Amino acid sequence: MNLTVSLDAKDEAPLHRQLYGGIRRAILAGRFGPGQRLPSTRAMAQSLGLSRTTVAQSYDDLISEGYLITVRGSGTFVCQELPEELLRSRPSPSVPAPQSAGKRLESNLSRYGRSLAAPLHFELARTNAPISFSYGHPDFEAVPFREWGRLLSRHCRSGSRKMLDYADDPLGHPPLREAVARYLGVARAVQCSPDQVVILNGAQQSLDLVARLIIDPGDAVALENPGYPGSFHTFRSQGARLIPIPVDASGIAVSQLYRHSKAKIKVVYVTPSHQFPTGAALSLPRRLELLAWAQQTGALIIEDDYDSEYRYGGRPIPALQGLGEGDSVVYVGTFSKVLFPSLRIAYLVAPRKLVPLISRAKWLADRQTSYVEQYALTDFINDGSLERHIRRMRTLYSSRRQALVRHLNAHLGSRATVIGENAGMQLMARISTGMTDEQFIARALGCRVSLSSAGHCYLTESRGGEFIMGFAGLGEKSICEGVRRLAQALDNPPRN
Ligand SMILES: Cc1ncc(COP(=O)(O)O)c(C=O)c1O
């Protein structure tokens, strides 16, 4: 047997891994054929000038991965079937697809499948402009990764079986449900006990599961107009009849709900703390009116409190859920905004009767939310890190919002009006552009800055000239430069 392995003491990889690599490569290249006997560890150690332990360690690794096999009393041999062969399926001869296959597939689609035939907004909205007022995400530079990494690695090292296995309970890690219930009681005046808290993969999953449990095709769902497109798509895909309800400076016009009494509205979806996208806060009289309407009609209110942590003036407005008595509200919140969206952890507070159904729906959808992250997040909340982080972000985002408003005033003057509350991670601005939103956005892109029209947030025809501008992820310099470029896009667009 002829083995040439270059071993380098200065290499980062330890010698036994270098030797392992050399033998594995020789096996895969066919230089050691199946069934061939390897030199004894002693002989190999002598010929390579290594210790026997080093050689034995490489052999052990290759044995445990299925490249080598030890036959007692005879020695170590290359396996007849290598792991690469066992893992790779042979390509099967391809059968030419009949022309009609695509058509047949289309006609086989479910109502849900057909509802997804057209691209959704998120697919159309991507740009790579150097300055982007994209919204929905926090400042990634400020994510407390060191702390987060420490907690994750502590739990990974613990290797607890409970953390690794399918969960006993799809509703979430019980200590996290307790921590969320405590947090919501204090920060949002939500009235709940931990058994009403469900941990899910995002507020979007909360909407999806609740929609599936409540809505049958043809049922009426009232939605804020303009509103959160993710809610439109979710309810529409369940076959709901969508009823747009206008929004003004005090939030959703609750009186309009009464006008639709014939429609028998089953669900109303609202963002009362910080209406998406207008930024209005639902006034107290309207909150009470909405709760009374729900009590009277038996409709369910879905309260999406997606970024309520970020209010920069006045006292926080308590959640609608905590104001009402009874079972009219499903409360939804997320860690996507206060931590980061790819974490995919959110929570829902449900009336008790719904909880077992949500548990079963969650189990059917995806079993559970990842447990390692749930363990880490429990510690992150309980040791006060979450509240500290939110306090820091509140200061940061408040100053970024102020900067954006200041620069809009300075560069666009009376052509721009900021609407909505002093809150959140994005604001809505009315900008008189004298052109369509698409034309303005294209001109802005020409000036290497991007922003979104609020047009896609309307269920009815949009009025145009309304733009959503995210500021949480942009430093003040970029905000200033971005707005200056928007002014340039209005006044002196670059020639193509
Ligand atoms: C109003 C609103 N609700 C829900 C979501 C979805 O949040 P999650 O990331 O938790 O699914 C978003 C995301 O941007 C949102 O803007």
What mean pLDDT do residues 381-397 have? 97
What mean pLDDT do residues 382-408 have? 97
Alpha helix segments (H runs only) across 97-144? 101-108, 111-115, 121-124
Count of C-beta atoms within a 10 Å radius of residue 130: 11
Count of C-beta atoms within a 10 Å radius of residue 296: 11
Q: Determine which residue's CA is closest to atom 16 belonging to ligand 1.
A: 136
Q: Does position 25 have pLDDT exceeding 60, yes or no?
A: yes
Q: Mutation test of ligand 1: which of 234, 306, 335, 348 has the most ligand atoms closer than 8 Å to its C-beta?
A: 306
Task: Look at residue 106 in the predicted model and tell me its pLDDT.
Answer: 83
Instruction: State the distance from the centre of ligand 1 to the C-alpha of 371, rounded, in angstroms.
Output: 21
The tens digit of pLDDT for each residue in 122-147 reads 787 677 899 999 999 999 999 999 99
Return the DSSP state at 423. Answer: B
**Type of residue numbered 114:** R
Task: Look at residue 496 in the predicted model and tell me its pLDDT.
Answer: 59
Ligand 1 atom nearest the C-alpha of 341 is 9
Q: Determine which residue's CA is closest to atom 7 belonging to ligand 1.
A: 203
> Ligand 1: which residues within 6 Å by Cβ?
136, 202-204, 228, 230, 271, 276, 304, 306, 334, 336, 341, 346
pTM, two decimal places: 0.90
Q: Does position 15 have pLDDT exceeding 90, yes or no?
A: yes
- Report how far apart, in Å, the C-alpha atoms of 236 and of each of 156, 208, 454, 459 are: 40, 11, 19, 11
Task: Look at residue 101 in the predicted model and tell me its pLDDT.
Answer: 73
Instruction: State the distance from the centre of ligand 1 to the C-alpha of 136, rounded, in angstroms.
Output: 7
The tens digit of pLDDT for each residue in 169-224 reads 999 999 999 999 999 999 999 999 999 999 999 999 999 999 999 999 999 999 99
Q: Does position 2 have pLDDT exceeding 70, yes or no?
A: no
Task: Look at residue 194 in the predicted model and tell me its pLDDT.
Answer: 98
Task: Look at residue 269 in the predicted model and tell me its pLDDT.
Answer: 98
pLDDT tier at 359, thresholds 50, 70, 90:
very high
Taken in order 411, 417, 423, 427, the sign of the CA dihedral is negative
What mean pLDDT do residues 340-345 have? 98
Return the DSSP state at 96. Answer: P
Instruction: State the distance from the centre of ligand 1 to the C-alpha of 204, rounded, in angstroms.
Output: 6
Instruction: State the distance from the centre of ligand 1 to the C-alpha of 29, rounded, in angstroms.
Output: 51
Q: Please give the mean pLDDT across all residues of the chain.
A: 94
Could you tell me if 15 and 7 are in contact, meaning their C-beta atoms sit under 8 angstroms apart?
yes
Could you tell me if 142 and 393 are in contact, meaning their C-beta atoms sit under 8 angstroms apart?
yes
The tens digit of pLDDT for each residue in 364-377 reads 999 999 999 999 99
More reliable by pLDDT, 319 or 10: 319
The tens digit of pLDDT for each residue in 156-168 reads 999 899 999 999 9
Do β-strands 251-252 and 265-270 pair in parallel, antiparallel, or remain unpaired? unpaired
Return the DSSP state at 36. Answer: P
